[in-house]
Chains A and B, each alone.
Chain A
Amino acid sequence: MKTQFARKFAVYLLLTIAVSLMLVPFYWMINTSLKSSVELLRTPPTMIPAELRFQNFLDALIKAPFLRYLSNTVFVAIAVVAVSTAVTVLAAFAFARLRFRGKTLLFFAVLGTMMVPQEMLIITNFMTVSKLGWMNSWQALIVPYCINPFNIYLLRQTFKQVPDELYLVSRVDGVSHFRYLQKVVLPLSKSSIVTTMILSTIWIWDSYAWPNLITTDDGKRLVSNGLQNAFTSDTGRIQYELQMAAATMVIVPLVLFFLLLRKYILSGMDKGGLKG
């Protein structure tokens, strides 16, 4: 009894420390976002702002084309999720179900691209995009994110879990591959598909290096890059309180998105009614 309590206590202590460490940056971001520019520079830094300046959030919105950046990111995210989900679902179905020559080799090639760090591809992608004349274009922001090997892998595994017999029955009944995918596989794999959509959204939301590299035009900048550049005062000082207020506003939708769809992420496969 005692040892069990001690063990539980140790586990909770460890988890509490881990959670605290995770939350420190968030706390610091919100803390900073509510300080005045004077209080910000005080040493030692104050742990709780003396006066909560919500004005910072308004200032951040007005200052610079922050809203513009945000809407750019939302637009790109929607486009990427739409196109990449379509590509992912079709590719995953082909890898999971169809029989064609070179399938295994092709699948390993797709998996292979997962092993290459994105940073290594930046230069070659940059060359490609600039040769295509796509600098400062929506395509350059969207197309490179449309193929996501991890998502293809994830969905293929999910699709493979749909029992063979369902496929065979629908084949014998004369149901086309596309119909089968649409009417059987997709509804059964809903939660995994939502998961891939969330992953795609987070990916584009967080991406920094690539959009920064190919956009110089303020009208096409994404919020991640905007945060870096927009909050520098005329005197060259970075206005951290505004930057952090903006960062908070960028993160909040993503956190909400995640919380709302948590059910899907955690629920896994929903496949009742099958025995055998």
Chain B
Amino acid sequence: MQVRLEQVTKTFAGSKNTQATAVKELDVTIASGKLVGLLGPSGCGKSTTLFMIAGIHDVSEGHIYFGDHDVTALPSDKRGVGIVFQNYALYPHLTVWDNIAFPLLNAKEMKKRLKQRFAELSPPMANFKAYIQRLVEEAAKLVELTAYLDRKPAELSGGQQQRVAIARAIVKNPSILLLDEPLSNLDARLRVQTRDEIKRIQKQTGITTVFVTHDQDEALSICDEVIILKDGVLQQQGPPQEVYDHPANQFVAEFLGSPQINLVGGSIKANKLYLGNEEWFALPESLSDQPVNIGVRYENIRPDRENRKQAFEATVTSIARTGGTSTVQVRLADGQPMRLHRDSDDVLQEGDRVRLYARPRTVYIFNAEGEKILQC
């Protein structure tokens, strides 16, 4: 189901009549059947946005639509969403089976709907209990936990617990699946495994899924689309690679990508870009003279072996070799540092003078306010 947020604002009442705005006039559309990442640093309003979609938080202003249906005033239990929390929120005293079956057996509306669906089953099933059993087993199978149905949560690993939580959320066949930092409590290896699981489960079920994370790696690797927030304000929305290659502003450029993008001070004078004090290349568009920040990603800086006009000089200050690649730190003529990736068998030495270059379309030029003014 498509989810549409229209001018959604959330303010929290602080102490002494102050108000904190967590989300500000957010306009986003989440396409049906997609896995969409809500991404941003902590406190950017991404979890608040998720909770508003879930109906856990009220919306201060604006509207939320599921399909054509305005759900802004609808209580959370009527929205038909499934939710998964960072700490799994499993019922610790119940087995995996009981945890997954919990929403089916303990919610009045749900049970009524299930009974109806049970009555209309074709071929009909012998009894309702067997039907519940089948639903639970289907969900368990989807998350590959069939062998663990009798265990208590404490007897499972973190990744398995999170999969139980996912099974519990999808067993009710929700129209939207909401995941709040589902991987943050897992160790690095499990995190990669579980995120691929999430991707697989999402593709298999086709449920529209919103995935909150502060980890750009996670978002970039599994999401169909990312929505980047900062201080409750939408920064950019789009497919991960698109956003990575064409960041809308300095914040997005800095936030996405690890290691973090190189940002070097420079200026525009007479329509020429200066890297530090050194002239770099002529701009294809005319822009007014101003100081700028120039962003170039590590992988886009290469040694110039063809004596290009658009190369610049630098001195190697250190080389950190890490397996197959090494990170080379250089100093520009005016002393500003910059880093790039090289193969480890490169023959660079500390103190070497090198000529480097980057293709203009991989160079982002930001003004003093952090807005992108040009990407050739």
A175 to B83, alpha carbons, bound, how many Å? Answer: 14
Specify which chain B residues have a CB less than 8 angstroms from the CB of A235 in the assembled complex.
Answer: none
User: Is B161 within 8 A of A273, CB to CB?
Assistant: yes
Q: Which of A130-181 contact B (CB under 8 A)?
A: 163, 165-166, 168-176, 179
Is B153's beta carbon under 8 Å from chain A? Answer: yes
Digit string of A46-70 for contact with B (CB within 8 Å is 1, else 0)? 0000000000000000000000000
Is B128's beta carbon under 8 Å from chain A? Answer: no
Question: Per a CB cutoff under 8 Å, which of B86, B93, B103 touches A173?
Answer: B103
Is A105's beta carbon under 8 Å from chain B? Answer: no
Q: A169-B85, A188-B92, A274-B90 are in contact. Are A174 and B110 (CB under 8 A)?
A: yes
Question: Nearest residue in B to A182 (C-beta to C-beta)?
Answer: B106
User: Is B103 within 8 A of A273, CB to CB?
Assistant: no
Specify which chain B residues have a CB less than 8 angstroms from the CB of A270 in the assembled complex.
Answer: 93
Specify which chain B residues have a CB less than 8 angstroms from the CB of A163 in the assembled complex.
Answer: 87, 89
Q: Which of B74-89 contact A (CB under 8 A)?
A: 76-79, 81-83, 85-89
- How far, in Å, is A37 (CB) from chain B's closest CB? 56
- How far, in Å, is A225 (CB) from chain B's closest CB? 42
Count A-B pairs with CB separation below 8 Å: 90
Q: Which of B100-130 contact A (CB under 8 A)?
A: 102-103, 106-110
Is B158's beta carbon under 8 Å from chain A? Answer: yes
User: Is B92 within 8 A of A172, CB to CB?
Assistant: no
A29 to B98, alpha carbons, bound, how many Å? Answer: 52
Report the interface size class on chain B.
20 to 34
Q: Is the interface of B mostly helix, strand, loop or mixed?
A: mixed
- How far, in Å, is A188 (CB) from chain B's closest CB? 6
Is A275's beta carbon under 8 Å from chain B? Answer: yes
Specify which chain A residues have a CB less than 8 angstroms from the CB of B109 in the assembled complex.
Answer: 174
Specify which chain B residues have a CB less than 8 angstroms from the CB of A209 in the assembled complex.
Answer: none
A183 to B106, alpha carbons, bound, how many Å? Answer: 9
A273 to B107, alpha carbons, bound, how many Å? Answer: 23
Question: Per a CB cutoff under 8 Å, which of A179, A184, A275 touches B88?
Answer: A275
Q: A172-B76, A172-B83 are in contact. Are A272 and B92 (CB under 8 A)?
A: yes
User: Is B83 within 8 A of A275, CB to CB?
Assistant: no
- How far, in Å, is A161 (CB) from chain B's closest CB? 12
User: Is B89 within 8 A of A165, CB to CB?
Assistant: yes
User: Is A175 within 8 A of B158, CB to CB?
Assistant: no
User: Is B85 within 8 A of A165, CB to CB?
Assistant: yes
Digit string of A178-200 for contact with B (CB within 8 Å is 1, else 0)? 01000110011000000000000
User: Is B92 within 8 A of A274, CB to CB?
Assistant: yes
A184 to B153, alpha carbons, bound, how many Å? Answer: 14
Q: Which of B132-158 contact A (CB under 8 A)?
A: 152-154, 158
A199 to B102, alpha carbons, bound, how many Å? Answer: 33
Is A97's beta carbon under 8 Å from chain B? Answer: no
Is B54's beta carbon under 8 Å from chain A? Answer: yes
Is B40's beta carbon under 8 Å from chain A? Answer: no
Is B247's beta carbon under 8 Å from chain A? Answer: no
User: Is A168 within 8 A of B89, CB to CB?
Assistant: yes
User: Is B154 within 8 A of A272, CB to CB?
Assistant: yes
Residue among A171, A173, A175, A271 having the largest count of chain B Cβ atoms under 10 Å: A173
User: Is B93 within 8 A of A188, CB to CB?
Assistant: yes
Is A276's beta carbon under 8 Å from chain B? Answer: yes
User: Is B107 within 8 A of A174, CB to CB?
Assistant: yes
A274 to B85, alpha carbons, bound, how many Å? Answer: 11
Specify which chain B residues have a CB less than 8 angstroms from the CB of A188 in the assembled complex.
Answer: 92-93
User: Is A173 within 8 A of B85, CB to CB?
Assistant: no
- How far, in Å, is A48 (CB) from chain B's closest CB? 51
User: Is B108 within 8 A of A168, CB to CB?
Assistant: no
User: Is A169 within 8 A of B83, CB to CB?
Assistant: yes
Q: Which of B207-261 contact A (CB under 8 A)?
A: none
User: Is B77 within 8 A of A173, CB to CB?
Assistant: yes
Is B172's beta carbon under 8 Å from chain A? Answer: yes
User: Is A173 within 8 A of B110, CB to CB?
Assistant: yes
A172 to B107, alpha carbons, bound, how many Å? Answer: 10
Q: A172-B81, A272-B152, A272-B154 are in contact. Are A166 and B110 (CB under 8 A)?
A: no
A273 to B88, alpha carbons, bound, how many Å? Answer: 9
Q: A183-B106, A272-B152, A276-B185 are in contact. Are A169 and B89 (CB under 8 A)?
A: yes
Ordered by A's residue number, 11 sampled pairs between the chains whose C-beta atoms are within 8 Å are A165-B85, A169-B85, A172-B56, A174-B107, A174-B109, A179-B106, A183-B102, A188-B92, A274-B153, A275-B161, A276-B87
Binding site for B on A (CB under 8 A): 163, 165-166, 168-176, 179, 183-184, 187-188, 270-276
Binding site for A on B (CB under 8 A): 54-56, 76-79, 81-83, 85-93, 102-103, 106-110, 152-154, 158, 161, 168, 172, 185
Known: A174-B107, A179-B107, A270-B93. 16 other contacts (CB 8 A): A165-B89, A166-B91, A168-B83, A169-B89, A171-B77, A172-B79, A172-B83, A173-B77, A173-B102, A173-B106, A175-B77, A175-B103, A184-B91, A272-B154, A274-B88, A274-B90
- A-B complex: 4 closest residue pairs judged by Cβ atoms: A276-B87, A174-B77, A273-B153, A273-B92
